[in-house]
Structure 1
Amino acid sequence: MSQLYASLFYQPDVTTIFSDQALLNYMIQAEVALAKAQAQVNVVPIAAATMIEQVGQSALEKIDFDALAVATGLAGNIAIPFVKQFTAIVKQHDEDASRYVHWGATSQDIIDTATILQCRDALGLIEKQLHSAYQISLQQAERYRDQVMIGRTWLQQALPITLGHKFARYAAAFKRDLDRLQSMKDRVLTAQLGGAVGSLASLQDQGSAVVQAFSAELGLSTPECTWHGERDRIVEIASLLAMIVGNVGKMAKDWSLLMQTEIAEVYEPTAKGRGGSSTMPHKRNPVAAASILAAANRVPALMASVYQSMVQDHERALGAWHAEWLAIPEIFQLCAGALERSNEVLQGIEVNVDAMQRNLETTQGLIMAESVMMALAAKIGRLNAHHLVEQACQQAVEQDTHLKNILSNLDEVKEHFSAQALDQLFQPKSYLGNIQAQIDAVLQAAQGDSK
Structure 2
Amino acid sequence: MSTSLFDSVLYRHLWGTDEVRELLDESRKLQAWLDIIAVLAEAQAEVGIVPQDCAQLIREHADVSLLDIDEVAHQTRATGHSTLGLIRCLQQVLPERAREWVYFGATVQDITDTWFATVMRSISDTVERDLSSLESEALRLAEQHRDTIMCGRTHGQPGLPITFGFKAAVWASELRRHRDRLREGRIRWEVVQLGGALGTMEFWGDSALPLLLAFAQRMRLSVPDIPWLTARDRIAEFVTLLAMVSATIGKIGQEIYQLQRPEIGEVHEPRTPGVVGSITMPHKINPEISEHLVTLSRLVRANASTALECILSEHERDGRSWKSEWVVLPEACQLTCVAMKLGIDLLRGLHVNAHRMKHNVIARGGYVLSAPALRLLAGAVGKHTAQQMIYDATMKGQRDQCTLIEALLSDSRVRRHLSAEDLATVTEAHSALGLAPHFVDRVVGAAGQEERKKADDN
The TM-score, its normalising length taken from structure 2, stands at 0.93
Contact 1:274–1:287, Cα closer than 8 Å, also in 2: no
Offset, 1:435: 1.2
Of the three residues 30, 40, 44, the one matched with 2:36 is 30
2:218 alignment counterpart: 217
Matches of 1:193 and 1:136 in 2, distance apart? Answer: 42
1:8 to 8, 14, 20: 14
Aligned-pair CA distance for 1:77: 4.5
Distance across 2 between alignment mates of 1:208 and 1:391: 76
Pairing partner for 2:24 from 18, 25, 45:
18
Whole-Å Cα distance in 2 between the matches of residues 413 and 290 of structure 1? 46
Q: Tell me if 1:396 matches 2:379.
A: no
Deviation at 1:75, TM superposition (A): 3.7
Q: Which amino acid aligns with 2:144?
A: R
Q: Which residue of 1 aligns with 2:60?
A: 54
Residue 7 of structure 1 deviates from its aligned partner by 0.8
8 Å Cα contact 1:32/1:53 also seen in 2: yes
- Structure 1: 5+ residue runs without aligned partners? none
Cα deviation, residue 260, structure 1:
0.9
Q: Residue in 2 aligned with 1:151?
A: 152
CA–CA distance in 2 between the matches of 1:77 and 1:289?
Answer: 43
Deviation digits for residues 195-234 of structure 1, max 9, x if unmatched? 1111222211111111110011010010122111111111
Q: Report runs of 4+ in structure 1 exceeding 4 Å deviation.
A: 409-418
Q: For residue 261 of structure 1, report the CA deviation from its aligned partner.
A: 1.6
Q: Distance in 1 between matches of 2:75 and 2:239?
A: 29
2:91 aligned residue: 87
Asked whether the 8 Å contact 2:150–2:358 carries over to 1, the reply is yes
Cα displacement string for residues 413-437 of structure 1 (whole angstroms, at most 9, x for unaligned residues): 5565554442232212210111122
Check if 1:64 corresponds to 2:68.
yes
The question of 1:178 aligning with 2:179 is answered: yes
Q: Deviations over 1:161-212 (max 9, x none)?
A: 1111111111111111000010011111110011111122221111111111
Deviation at 1:262, TM superposition (A): 0.8
> What's the counterpart of residue 240 of structure 1?
241
Task: Tell me which amino acid in the other structure corresponds to 2:195.
Answer: G
SS across alignment from 1:160:
strand
Distance 2:122 2:399 in 1: 62
Amino acid at match of 2:30: L
Number of positions where the alignment pairs a residue of Structure 1 with one of Structure 2: 446
Aligned to 1:370: 371
Aligned equivalent of 2:122: 121
Partner letter of residue 47 of structure 2?
V
1:24 Cα deviation from its structure 2 partner? 0.9
3-state secondary structure, aligned to 1:319: helix
CA distance in 1: counterparts of 2:194 and 2:301, whole angstroms: 30
Matched to 2:188, the amino acid is: R
The answer to whether the aligner puts 1:190 opposite 2:191 as a matched pair is yes
Q: Percent identity?
A: 31
Q: After superposition, give the CA deviation of every residue in 1:302-343 in whole Å (9 maximum; x if it has no partner).
A: 222211111112111132221111111001111111111111
Matching of residues 231-310 of structure 1 within 5 Å: 231-274=232-275, 276-310=277-311
Given residue 131 of structure 1, which amino acid in structure 2 is its aligned partner?
A: S
Partner of 2:456: none
Cα distance in 1, alignment partners of residues 39 and 280 from structure 2: 57
Distance in 1, matches of 2:276 and 2:229, equals 46
**Pair 1:78–1:273, CA change in 2 (3 A):** farther
Give, in angstroms, the shift of residue 127 of structure 1.
1.2
- The residue identity in structure 1 corresponding to 2:243 is A
Mapped contact 1:275–1:286 kept (Cα < 8 A): no
Does structure 2 retain, via aligned residues, the 8 Å contact 1:79–1:111? no
Pairwise CA distance, 1:400: 0.8
C-alpha contact 1:26 1:118 (8 A) present in aligned 2: no
Deviation at 1:108, TM superposition (A): 1.5
The amino acid that maps onto 2:234 is: R
- In 1, Cα distance between equivalents of 2:78 and 2:373: 74
CA distance 1:368–1:180, change in 2 (3 Å): same
How far apart are residue 282 of structure 1 and its match? 1.3
SS of equivalent residue, structure 2 residue 158: strand
CA contact (8 A) 2:120 2:189 kept: no
SS in 2 for 1:241: helix
**Normalised TM-score (structure 1):** 0.95
In 2: Cα distance, 1:179 partner to 1:393 partner: 45
Q: CA RMSD in A?
A: 1.7
Alignment partner, residue 47 of structure 2: 41
Gaps of 5+ in 2: 454-458
Q: Distance in 1 between matches of 2:274 and 2:317?
A: 50
C-alpha separation between the residues in 2 aligned to 1:208 and 1:277? 63
Amino acid at match of 1:294: T
